[in-house]
Structure formats: structure tokens, C-alpha cells
Chains A and B, each alone.
Chain A
């Protein structure tokens, strides 16, 4: 089935929030944000801004009628700053004007007086100063302290893992429209309509039912609109409540980059102990998460770092510690992988370092320690259907990896300045929200008398193909043509208390809820039909290709006739379905449980070529074997794998977030923050799906696909390092991401380039010239 929106997307008819014709008298909002990263807010001068013709009003924290709070997990983040600011860009005032241009012009004329406080940007510094958000966490398996002495080698080191800008192509935006009786209707670009509903209600002091949130689609989300879409919707709602006018807020790209959080940078330490034969005996990791200025979703993300701290390996003795550290950067937030990728990067770094010491290849250690059925994760869950070895073997076989490696060696023997590198990246990713209560979903299904079907769920379409999948699920369940099914906007009045579209679980949860609703309607239809047809055993009725069959034989009734007759006989043709993932739980006191319904596995192999005189590189080949269960929409799922891979590759290589030590964001536009373009992607990308796998959890045997492929990207870092080592075998291994071409060059020629400017010189230069802030 093709992407359901393909026609409207390509005709330019798909409507995003600000494409919908605006209500009469709508005003436009612009945000004024803090010019400094930490300080006391002494005065706010709005006078000049107020004088700009076309400005209606300017709102500050004093205008908030309810609670000035948007912290989802911990109440530590204000919608509009009151007496202190905690990061550059933190919203302070909201200008409402007749046009967006006027609003932005006026916002630039706002000024504040502040008294600077010390700025922290480094999570290790924050940790030492006790700036820790929530509790620190430790997952333990076996006894690491005892185990070190059983090891033949023990190596230690550290990693500096960079964050990542989401760069959804559609920036954050929302429109709030006042309705009668003090109600508000919010159109938001959010992955979490319920979070917006709760957030707006809290800010305005309203009950939830007075706030209706409606989401048609997002121009990309990737986690960046899971929690952080709420702020902008709340601001629009505040404006609407106070002025009585519709308000639209669209963040310009620059402000979106400065004001919103990103993937968390991590500083991590590792220690790994192995037997001579490569068997890992013990592993210890300490993760310092750079949470930014507020909790946001950081504690939950931290948890997933621990869940994935041993990636696809079984290690009998593990101690993984993690702390969420408060700094003066924008509050970092969910991003595809949700902390998992950072945990995996660290274990992969540890394995790389160990391979160097043992003088074996990375792959030998990786393969030796891959998970097998019934192995235990540090969080207490046993692994089932551990397809990781199968994906590895399949990759070796179908892509002839041994030959590939041989050719790479030959190439390197025969070339001087160009070197090739190779790496394999196995992944294991747990599916379910790790906060167990979120693993629930509702769906509302209507069948109309003409046989057409309407499906509403709590899932949000952000390009991932959710509504296409839901249409297919409903059509398959009813045995009807897909064209009969329409998936509606995501609306809080049709489905209540919905979980965010996140954790790769959106299709699993909402698809299963849709199935539950459909099967209830089917049951009613069948009970009715057996009576009318003078049969018994409703369960022997099926619908195939819109025809009602009894024990496989035609009954003479079509879907349409069935529906119509049922209607005239007063059969309810609507149902609400509910699904809660069974069997998942987690005990935080013991840090043990069964948090995941299942795991997704896969193996990727990379070949890269590095120009060792220039630092530039190419990703020649990426070969993947991925476990999708039984794909329902292979075209769409493959699209997710490729897109996830592209983001993972970008994170590891090109995408460099730069902050100075005053917390000012230097790579704050698309001109200074580089994401993969078509040239960057490997020319030779092959994805094989693991065959003959089933999955009892996903609708029709599917497996979740959104996040796991991102983590394949980690492999490219080690492939580049492998190539660099071929040029300069004595080069010390460092694990700082991203591996930009500049960094490749610096690492290869550190000695020769002494005297040239280093990264930190460049940073220092930036600090000397004050960066002009326009918020």
C-alpha cells in the first residue's frame, strides 16, 4: 500500500497548521527569549516594542492565569521566565501582532536587564556541583568488583558523545482558536496531543475537557515534538485566552534551533574486562547526561541509556550508572532512540578499545558476545527470539563480508593516501514505553451505512506512515478495500488520555486498539448475520474481499449489504477499542523487571574510504539485515530504515552542535549545522529483511521500526576509525563524536598541524566577539 497522503503531498495540498485558512482577526505571535544562559531577570522593558504599529499586546509571566509550569516529569520549567533565566532563548515575553513580521520586529525591540550567574555547560562539572535532576540510577547484574580479577585484560576510557538537532523540516508551530463558553481549540504540530491538552489546561487553569487538541500531521517530529511542542501551543493558547482572538505561533528556524532542546550530549566512562579469547566478563559504565536547564524527558531518556548499555551483547557482570546533569543549555529532549544510542556508543567504544589491546578485530569480540535466547539483560528481562545472530550470519553470508574485508585489506596495501575502513554494528532495541503506564491506546471506529469506515486513534502521523498502516490494519480486519477506510485527525475529544507517538510503538499500540474496536463491530455484525441467514456459529463467518463467507462459501451478502441491514436492525456500528501491552512492568526500586514487550534486532556493515591527506571521506557501502517481524507495508518500513540510518549517520559524522562556554549556540542555522544530503548517503545501500520471523505483539506479526535503524549509524564512526588506523596505526583511539572531516584531519595529523588553529582556538575566538542575539 502506498503512503496514503502521497497524492496530496505531491500536489502541495496536504495541510500543515499554517496552511489552513486563518480565522477572521487572527493575530500572530513572536517570542522574546533570554539573551543570557543564566542570570537573574531584573527588568523587562516592553515600551518600545509596544509602540510598534500593529502590536496588540505583549504578555509576560504575570499574565498567566493558571500555573506557570510546563515541566512534564518534574515541575521545574516555566512557560515564561519569572525571576531567573536558565538558558539562552528561554521564553520571557510573547508579542501578539497583526502580522508575523510586526510581531518579530517588536520582539526585537524588547530588552531586559539581567544579573549574570555562573554558566555550566559541561555535565561533569554540573555533576560535581550537585546539579543533578531526579535520582541517579544504577543497573547491576552479577558482581563487577569480583569479576575484574577473573579477566585477562581490563581496559578503561571515556567518550564524549555529541547531541543532535532534530531539524524536522517544519519548525514548531501551533494555532489556538477561542470557542464558546471559555473553550479552546488547539491545532498543534505535536507528537503528544494529550501533553498539549494537559499543558494548556494547566497554564490557563481549565479542566482538560475545555481544551480540544487536533493534529492532522507533522512535517517531521523525531522526538523533538514529543514534549517540546507543548510550550508553543501553550503560548498560543495563552494569547488566545487573553485576547479572545485566534493566535498562531510559528517559530522561525533560527529560534527553533536556539530555543528547543536536542538529543542529549553525554560524557561517559567505561571499563571493560575480557578473557583472552574475547569473552566479555565484566563491564562498567558511568554516564553523565547533559540534560540542559530543565528535566523535560531527561530522566526517562537516562533510563533508556541504561536499558541499552550492553547493546546486543550478553555480559554476566555489569554495573551501569547514570546521572542526569543540569546545565545551562536548552532542555534536551527525546530524539529517535531516546538515550539508547548513547548507551550503545559507549559499549561499542569499549569493545573497540579492548580489541586493540587484545590485538583482535572488533568483530571477533562482537560476535563472541552476541545475545542468545534466555540470556539476561542487566534489567532482569530474559531475551526471547534473539535474532541477533541470525541477522549477523545472514549479513556475513549474503553480503560476503569476509570477501569485502579482504578487498579492503588489499586496497589499503596498494594505496597510500586513501584508506578504506570496515565496521559491523549489531543492534538490539527494546520495544515499549519504559514507563509502563504509557503502553495503552484507544481507538474509535465507525462504520457508516455506505460501508465506509472512519478510524480515530491517539497516534500522530509525522511521516512515518502511521495512518497508512492503520488504514491497512482496519481494512484487513474488516476484509474490505483499503479505499473504504479513512483515518481521521488525532483529536483529544475522540480518543482521551493518549500516549505520545513515540518509543517506536505507535503502530503497535494504536494498531492493536484499532483491531480491538474492529473486532467488536465484527462480532456484532456476525451475530446479527447468522440470525438473518438462519445459521449458527457466528465465528464461522468471515469477510473476504467485501464478501460475507460462511465456512469459506459465499452467503450472497456483500459488506455493504451486511452493514446496511445491520443498521436497519439497530446494530451499533461504532466501537471504542482499547489495548494495553500485556506483561510489561518495571520495578524502579530494584531496577529489575520486564520493561519490553520484545526486542528488534539487526546488523549493519559499513565500508568507508578516507582521504587521509584531506580528512574527507565517503561512505561506500552500507549493508543491513533487519528484523521487521512480518512487515505489513514493506515499502513504508524500508523508508523508515533508510531514514533512521541517515539520521544516525549524520549524528555520528556531520552534525556538529557547537555551544560556547557561555551557553550560546553557535551552529544555530542550517548554514552552520550540516545534515546529510543526497551525496552523503552511501551509493551502495542494501537492506535485507530477516525472513520467517513472527512477532506475537505487533498487529499481524509486525515489529516496530521507527527508532532502531538510527543506531546502525554508530557503525560508521568505527569504520572511519578503522580506515584512519590503516593510515596511521599508532593513532590513539579517541571516542569523541561527531567524526567530522576536520576531526579526521586533526586526529591523523595532530603533530603536523600544531600551529594551526584547533577547535578550541576557534571557540575562544568566538567568545571574544560578543554574539549578537536577536530574540
Chain B
């Protein structure tokens, strides 16, 4: 089947098996390997990408379902062509919200629309937003801190 998607602002057209998962499509067809696969069944959130701005689990979606739609992966987060980081990425670095890094892209993409929609989240709301993503390394404390840090930075308008 033919699939035409915009990923991180770039249009891609490919012919794929109808049952090819979006996660495999991104990783193997487009070589966007920042999207990680942890559980293959929609539990861990490592494979989260944005589909038309909403977080979705790319291991639960067929590539063809994204036909003529917009996807954002972790590779699209930092300003392209620079070595700058997005403020959310900076916050994860500064609050040490990562260890092995395997879960990190999924957390970032879950959080991106959350922070945009909730510029002043409570701790409870932050935890709620994170509750669908698993991290086996950190114990989550620093991930929560990273979100708070990102929110504060945004508030200060930095």
C-alpha cells in the first residue's frame, strides 16, 4: 500500500505492507531510530510519537493509518540544523531525568503537548500525564522534576 506522511515537517512516500507498524515504519523505512520499542503492546510508552499533535503509541498503529497525516518524532524536537536543545530536553538534562535513555523519547513526546496545554500544571497533573510511560531506571523523581523545571523555564519566558 502507498503511504504518504509528513514526519517532522518532511514529506515521505513509501509503498509498505498493510500490516507494517508505524514504529517499524519510522525506524526501518525512515531510519528515524529515536523512536524506541519497549513492550510492543502499548504499555510502556517508549514508542510514543505525535500524530497530528496528539501522543500516540506507534507500536499500536499501522503505518498506513498515518497516511496523509502529520507525525512528529523525537528527532523533530530540537531546532533543526543546530546543536540547541528544546527547553524540555534541556530540563531532562539539567534535572537528570534520564539514565539509560531508552524511555526518554517517549516521555518527551508525551509531555510536549501536555505542557503546551497546561502551562501551570500541579504535581498531581504532572504525575497523571506521566502515568502511561514506564521508566525502569530512574524512579521517576527526576522526571517529575524535569517537567517542573521546564514549566518554570517557560514561565520565566526563557
Assembly CA distance A11 to B108 (angstroms): 10
On whether the beta carbons of B96 and A3 are closer than 8 Å, the reply is: yes
Q: Which residue of chain B has the shortest Cβ distance to A646 in the bound complex? A: B139
Q: Which residues of B contact A670 (CB under 8 A)?
A: 38-39, 41, 43-44, 134
On whether the beta carbons of B38 and A639 are closer than 8 Å, the reply is: no
B140 interface neighbour in A253, A254, A678, Cβ under 8 Å: A678
Q: Which residues of A contact B54 (CB under 8 A)?
A: none
Assembly CA distance A12 to B48 (angstroms): 12
A10 interface neighbour in B40, B104, B132, B140, Cβ under 8 Å: B104
B120 within 8 A of A: no
A669 within 8 A of B: yes
A645 within 8 A of B: yes
| Interface size, A (range) | 35 or more
B99 interface neighbour in A3, A675, A683, Cβ under 8 Å: A3
Assembly CA distance A193 to B101 (angstroms): 20
Assembly CA distance A16 to B33 (angstroms): 9
On whether the beta carbons of A3 and B98 are closer than 8 Å, the reply is: yes
Complex interface bits, A1-44 against B, C-beta within 8 A gives 1, otherwise 0: 01101111111111110110100000000000000000000000
A404 within 8 A of B: no
On whether the beta carbons of B142 and A642 are closer than 8 Å, the reply is: yes
Q: Which residues of B contact A645 (CB under 8 A)?
A: 139
Complex interface bits, B10-40 against A, C-beta within 8 A gives 1, otherwise 0: 0000000000000000010001111110111
Q: Which residues of B contact A762 (CB under 8 A)?
A: none
B74 within 8 A of A: yes
Q: Which residues of A contact B154 (CB under 8 A)?
A: none
On whether the beta carbons of A642 and B141 are closer than 8 Å, the reply is: yes
A647 within 8 A of B: yes
On whether the beta carbons of B130 and A678 are closer than 8 Å, the reply is: yes
**Nearest-CB distance from A40 to chain B (Å)?**
33
B46 within 8 A of A: yes
On whether the beta carbons of B38 and A669 are closer than 8 Å, the reply is: no
Complex interface bits, A599-639 against B, C-beta within 8 A gives 1, otherwise 0: 00000000000000000000000000000000000011011
Complex interface bits, B90-108 against A, C-beta within 8 A gives 1, otherwise 0: 0011101011111111001
Q: What is the interface of chain B, defined by CB distance below 8 A to chain A?
A: 27, 31-36, 38-41, 43-44, 46, 73-75, 77-78, 83, 85-86, 88-89, 92-94, 96, 98-105, 108, 123, 127, 130-144
On whether the beta carbons of B34 and A11 are closer than 8 Å, the reply is: yes
On whether the beta carbons of B143 and A678 are closer than 8 Å, the reply is: yes
Taking A647-B136, A671-B43 as contacts, is the C-beta distance between A169 and B96 under 8 angstroms?
Answer: no
On whether the beta carbons of A169 and B98 are closer than 8 Å, the reply is: no
On whether the beta carbons of A12 and B134 are closer than 8 Å, the reply is: no
A685 within 8 A of B: yes
Q: Which residues of B contact A681 (CB under 8 A)?
A: 139-141
On whether the beta carbons of A169 and B44 are closer than 8 Å, the reply is: yes
On whether the beta carbons of A463 and B101 are closer than 8 Å, the reply is: yes
**Nearest-CB distance from A548 to chain B (Å)?**
31
On whether the beta carbons of A646 and B140 are closer than 8 Å, the reply is: yes
Determine chain A's interface SS by DSSP, over half rule.
loop
Q: Which residues of A contact B85 (CB under 8 A)?
A: 7, 10-11
Q: Which residue of chain B has the shortest Cβ distance to A673 in the bound complex? A: B43
A568 within 8 A of B: no
On whether the beta carbons of A11 and B139 are closer than 8 Å, the reply is: no
Q: Which residues of A contact B44 (CB under 8 A)?
A: 169, 670
Assembly CA distance A676 to B137 (angstroms): 11
On whether the beta carbons of A10 and B139 are closer than 8 Å, the reply is: no
Assembly CA distance A674 to B13 (angstroms): 39
Complex interface bits, A105-131 against B, C-beta within 8 A gives 1, otherwise 0: 000000000000000000000000000
**Nearest-CB distance from A617 to chain B (Å)?**
17
Taking A10-B98, A678-B130 as contacts, is the C-beta distance between A671 and B41 under 8 angstroms?
Answer: yes
On whether the beta carbons of A643 and B41 are closer than 8 Å, the reply is: no
**Nearest-CB distance from A70 to chain B (Å)?**
25
Q: Which of A654-671 contact B (CB under 8 A)?
A: 669-671
Assembly CA distance A685 to B142 (angstroms): 11
Complex interface bits, A148-185 against B, C-beta within 8 A gives 1, otherwise 0: 00000000000000000011111100000000000000
Taking A647-B136, A685-B141 as contacts, is the C-beta distance between A11 and B96 under 8 angstroms?
Answer: no
On whether the beta carbons of B96 and A635 are closer than 8 Å, the reply is: yes
Given contacts A9-B104, A644-B139, could you give 20 more A-B pairs where the C-beta distance is less than 8 Å? A6-B93, A7-B89, A10-B78, A11-B78, A12-B33, A12-B77, A169-B38, A169-B100, A220-B100, A252-B40, A254-B40, A635-B96, A639-B99, A639-B139, A642-B140, A670-B39, A670-B134, A671-B43, A676-B140, A677-B134
Q: Which residues of B contact A644 (CB under 8 A)?
A: 139
On whether the beta carbons of B100 and A2 are closer than 8 Å, the reply is: no
Q: Which residues of A contact B46 (CB under 8 A)?
A: 169
